């Protein structure tokens, strides 16, 4: 008689497979005592029988049994095979179709004897309930740890912190502060990733998704977040203040923020607009035999513009850079930026305070049961509306550039900036660069064709 063995373990952190090996050994001993041939072993490590993730090995085994490949299935205990009644029904259908049996080493299951189908169902129901209870206990434990501001343990060490979250790694914290400043200064995530020389915790290069997840974590402000509620922590040190983290969250949630093709090879890409129709102009190579590029307003089907405006790139860049450096050298710019930054800080502080009140309300309703649903909603909904309004204001208000350092030495500092940093600074000060048309201009470039709309 030919049988197969199925073994499974939910967690296997060390990768040694000792748990499944012990199950297999006991099943082989049972097969040897009965004189059965073990044709194949189906082994699954780090796989839950209660969760929703696919179980490819289990599914392959069921398919083979249903096809009549084996006379029987041996498993150490029923909960190794399944903890869900739905999966049990799949197994029962397979053994009935394939004329096979199920036998366990522990638990007394043997469907070769007619009365074991009922026992099979009862034990599966018990295993299912045990898994549900375990899941509830684990969730409650994680919630309790979060409420106390404590790390739940496990997982990869977060960038900037020790493995237990109780100490800051200063070299990495300095990188985080630099990233935060760059993001708030308008630099793109991809641009930042390209210039970062230190790797992530895993040793891999930075990716925008990884960067975004890091920079929006409440952990950076010394807090613990669980299911959308932020809890203060006495054990997690802060690298940034909560106001800065909130500003970063608003920045990434802004639907107007471009997430694709953010890193460009041209300083002015995305800024140059057609003065006739307002469409974004695109860069094209100059005719054959000439070096350089030109900006063109493309009409359908290539673009969405009027097709009437073109200009050579090099002189436009020179004019824009000169105007930018002149503005950076002006002391009045720093005063205007300081006023805008104060306004943003005020909005950010109010947003943090409202989020704290919302979190407290949620805890009183969902966790502590101190207020009923109607009372909760009556207090929470106005706070949610105010939160949305503040986020909208922060998303629309320009980020004030840190320009005081440029006064009197703008050219020197500009020369040391990367393309990504230059584009970020440009985006903070300039809203758009319109190329106007004055009819036939001949071969000579007219600087008056360039109309810059400044943010500050």
Per-residue pLDDT at 14 = 47
324 and 352 fall within a common domain: no
In a domain, 234, yes or no: yes
**433 and 268 Cβ atoms separated by less than 8 Å:** yes
Nearest to 79 by CA among 34, 19, 36: 19
**98 and 67 Cβ atoms separated by less than 8 Å:** yes
Cα–Cα distance, 290 to 313 (Å, whole number): 13
In a domain, 177, yes or no: yes
310 and 418 fall within a common domain: yes
In a domain, 147, yes or no: no
Q: In Å, what is the CA distance from 197 to each residue of 145, 174, 205, 314, 407?
A: 35, 13, 8, 31, 29
Q: What is the mean pLDDT of each run of 10 residues along the chain (456 residues)?
A: 90 55 92 94 76 83 94 90 80 88 87 65 61 60 64 80 91 92 81 88 91 92 78 85 84 64 68 92 83 88 86 93 89 69 76 82 80 89 88 68 74 86 83 84 81 88
Collapsing DSSP to helix, strand or coil, 84 comes out as: coil
179 and 112 fall within a common domain: no
98 and 204 fall within a common domain: no
Peptide bond into 301 cis (omega under 30): yes
Q: Is the pTM of this model over 0.75?
A: no
48 and 14 fall within a common domain: yes
205 and 318 fall within a common domain: no
**Other CB atoms within 10 Å distance of the CB of residue 402:** 16
What residues contact residue 437 under an 8 Å CB cut-off, 6+ apart? 275, 276, 308, 309, 449
In a domain, 341, yes or no: no
Cα–Cα distance, 354 to 7 (Å, whole number): 51
Cα–Cα distance, 20 to 44 (Å, whole number): 8
Cα–Cα distance, 286 to 294 (Å, whole number): 6
Cα–Cα distance, 373 to 214 (Å, whole number): 34
Compute the CA torsion angle 184, 188, 194, 196 (nearest 10 deg): 10
In a domain, 142, yes or no: no
Per-residue pLDDT at 304 = 84
Q: What is the CATH classification number for the domain harbouring 67?
A: 3.40.50.1390
In a domain, 215, yes or no: yes
Nearest to 429 by CA among 448, 395, 403: 403
- Total structural domains within the chain: 4
Residue 409 gets which letter from DSSP? T
In a domain, 220, yes or no: yes
Per-residue pLDDT at 28 = 94
Per-residue pLDDT at 260 = 45
27 and 111 fall within a common domain: yes
Per-residue pLDDT at 388 = 84
303 and 441 fall within a common domain: yes
Place of tokens 């004189």: 35
Q: What's the domain range around 372?
A: 346-396
Per-residue pLDDT at 235 = 86
**9 and 19 Cβ atoms separated by less than 8 Å:** yes
Cα–Cα distance, 219 to 419 (Å, whole number): 31
Q: What is the CATH classification number for the domain harbouring 175?
A: 3.90.1750.20
321 and 175 fall within a common domain: no
In a domain, 71, yes or no: yes
Collapsing DSSP to helix, strand or coil, 296 comes out as: strand
Per-residue pLDDT at 262 = 40
176 and 230 fall within a common domain: yes
15 and 120 fall within a common domain: yes
53 and 130 fall within a common domain: yes
């Amino acid at each position: 008689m030919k049988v197969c063995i199925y073994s499974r373990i939910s967690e296997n952190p060390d990768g040694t497979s000792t748990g499944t090996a012990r199950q297999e050994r006991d099943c082989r001993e049972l097969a040897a005592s009965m004189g059965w041939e073990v044709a194949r072993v189906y082994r699954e490590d780090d796989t839950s029988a209660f969760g929703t993730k696919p179980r490819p090995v289990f599914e392959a085994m069921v398919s083979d049994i249903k096809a009549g490949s084996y006379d029987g299935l041996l498993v150490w205990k029923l909960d190794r095979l399944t903890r869900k009644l739905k999966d049990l029904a799949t197994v029962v259908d397979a053994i009935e179709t394939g004329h096979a049996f199920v036998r366990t080493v522990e638990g007394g299951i043997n469907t070769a004897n007619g009365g074991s189908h009922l026992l099979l169902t009862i034990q599966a129901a018990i295993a299912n309930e045990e898994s549900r209870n375990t899941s509830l206990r684990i969730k409650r434990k994680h919630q309790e740890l979060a409420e106390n501001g404590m790390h739940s343990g496990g997982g990869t060490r977060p960038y900037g912190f020790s493995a237990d979250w109780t100490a800051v790694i200063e070299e990495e914290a300095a990188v985080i502060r630099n990233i935060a400043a760059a993001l708030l200064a308008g630099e793109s995530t991809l641009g930042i990733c390209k210039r970062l020389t230190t790797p992530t915790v895993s040793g891999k290069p930075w990716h925008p998704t990884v960067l975004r997840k890091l920079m929006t974590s409440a952990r950076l402000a010394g807090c613990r977040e669980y299911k959308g509620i932020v809890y203060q922590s006495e054990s997690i040190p802060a690298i940034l203040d909560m106001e800065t983290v909130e500003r970063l969250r608003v920045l990434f949630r802004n639907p107007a923020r471009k997430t694709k093709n953010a890193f460009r090879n041209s300083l002015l890409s995305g800024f140059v607009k057609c003065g006739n129709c307002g469409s974004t102009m695109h860069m094209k190579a100059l005719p054959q035999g000439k070096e350089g590029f030109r900006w063109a307003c493309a009409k359908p089907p290539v673009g969405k513009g009027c097709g009437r405006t073109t200009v050579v790139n090099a002189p436009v860049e020179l004019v824009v850079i000169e105007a930018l450096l002149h503005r950076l050298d002006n002391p009045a710019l720093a005063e205007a930026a300081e006023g805008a930054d104060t306004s943003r800080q005020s909005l950010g502080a109010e947003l943090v305070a409202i989020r704290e009140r919302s979190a407290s309300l949620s805890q009183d309703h969902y966790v502590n049961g101190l207020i009923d649903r109607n009372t909760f909603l009556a207090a929470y909904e106005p706070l949610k509306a105010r939160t949305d309004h503040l986020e909208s204001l922060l998303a629309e208000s320009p980020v004030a550039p840190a320009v005081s350092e440029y006064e009197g030495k703008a050219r020197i500092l500009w020369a040391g900036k990367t393309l990504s940093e230059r584009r970020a600074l440009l985006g903070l000060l300039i809203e758009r660069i319109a190329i106007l048309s004055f009819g036939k201009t001949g071969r000579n470039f007219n600087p008056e064709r360039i109309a810059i709309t400044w943010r500050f």
